[in-house]
Amino acid sequence: MAQDLLTTLNAAVDAVVVALAGCRDWGPTGLKHGQFGFDLAADVAATEVLQQAGLRVLSEESGLEHGDGPVAVLDPVDGSTNASRGIRYFATSICVVNEREPLAAVVHDHGSGERFEALRGGGARCDGETLQPPEPRPLAECVVGINGWPPGRGGWAQYRTLGAAALELCAVAAGRLDGYLDFSVSGLGSWDYLGALLVCAEAGVEVHDGHGRDLVVLDHQSRRAPVAAPSPLVDELMAVWDRLSGDTAAG
């Protein structure tokens, strides 16, 4: 079943690639802030494949379908602002969740063509190559990915704000970034990070919510603040997040 899930997720991502290649509407929809025509085209393409496979869908663009059984948590285009401005750093992320446990995930980088895959208990891969647990560096030597604006100095060497959480978290899994922290005011929806969360977990990278809440949520309104890194660096980043943000739980 697990391999069948990956086959379905890859087919859904392939459908998005085709939809985006043929999409002519890259402007705002006017329906929702930050939503573009290509978001809806990608959503329709992926959702059709996922539903045909018998999966319910929780999408950033179209909410959660009621019913029973596994749920495919879908971000049709993660990094929509990048895509709308011609910045080739955006992704499609899908994670299948069963009883609040991630089972399978695919994150596709539309800029580079790289594809990350993960199966619960089956490891993580990038373009078919198994991801090995990255070696943590001392915090003072780290380059971390950040969402939002850090309200102070974190003690790392440098940071990057790249605008696509799924890809930045996968970059931690691949050892390209040393860690990731979300400092945004509103936080991230589960579709932003769940696919990459499973990739990270299967590659030996820990992902926590800054406030200590469960990251596997299927509520369209809930938001979280992911912090990711290999152990023991993740503990240092959690302490930095707490110091800079303050532990005031939200949402």
150-207 tens-digit pLDDT: 888 999 999 999 999 999 999 999 999 999 999 999 999 999 999 999 999 999 999 9
User: How many CB atoms within 10 Å of residue 92?
Assistant: 31
Query: Both 123 and 143 in a single domain?
Result: no
125 in any annotated domain: yes
Residues 188 and 225 in one domain: yes
In a domain, 250, yes or no: no
- Pair 78, 171 in one domain: no
Model confidence over 21-78: pLDDT tens digits?
A: 987 767 676 567 767 989 999 999 999 999 999 999 999 887 788 888 899 999 999 9
Boundary of a domain, candidates 97, 130, 163: 130
Q: Which of the 8 DSSP states describes residue 131?
A: P
Q: Which pLDDT value is given to residue 249?
A: 42
Residue 52 within a domain:
yes
187 within a domain of the structure (yes/no)? yes
Final residue belonging to a domain, choices 85, 113, 130: 130
Residues 97, 150: one domain?
Answer: no
Q: Name the domain boundary from 78, 96, 130.
A: 130
CATH number at residue 238: 3.40.190.80
The per-residue pLDDT for range 76-100, each reduced to its tens digit, is 999 999 999 999 999 999 999 997 8
Q: Give burial (CB, 10 Å; 0-12/13-18/19+) of 122.
A: middle
SS3 220: coil
Q: Let me know whether 160 and 114 are in one domain.
A: no
CATH code: domain of residue 96:
3.30.540.10
> What is the per-residue pLDDT for 24?
79
Verify that 39 and 93 share a domain, yes or no. yes
Residues 11 and 126 in one domain: yes
Residue-range definition of the domain harbouring residue 85: 2-130
For the chain, what percent of residues have pLDDT higher than 70?
95
Q: How many CB atoms lie within 10 A of CB 190?
A: 24
User: Is the same domain home to 174 and 102?
Assistant: no
Question: Within a domain: residue 109?
Answer: yes
Distances (CA, A) of 142 to 137, 160, 174, 208, 237: 6, 11, 14, 18, 11
Considering the domain architecture, whether residues 64 and 165 belong to the same structural domain is answered as no
Res 250 pLDDT > 60:
no
Question: Does residue 251 form part of some domain?
Answer: no
Specify whether 112 is located in the same domain as 162: no
pTM to 2 decimal places: 0.94
Q: Is residue 121 part of a domain?
A: yes
CB half-sphere exposure, 73, CA atoms < 13 A? 28
- Domain tally, the chain: 2
Pair 123, 170 in one domain: no
Position 13 in a domain: yes
Q: Are residues 107 and 214 in the same domain?
A: no
Q: Which residues are CB-neighbours of 222 under 8 A, at least 6 positions away?
A: 189, 190, 251
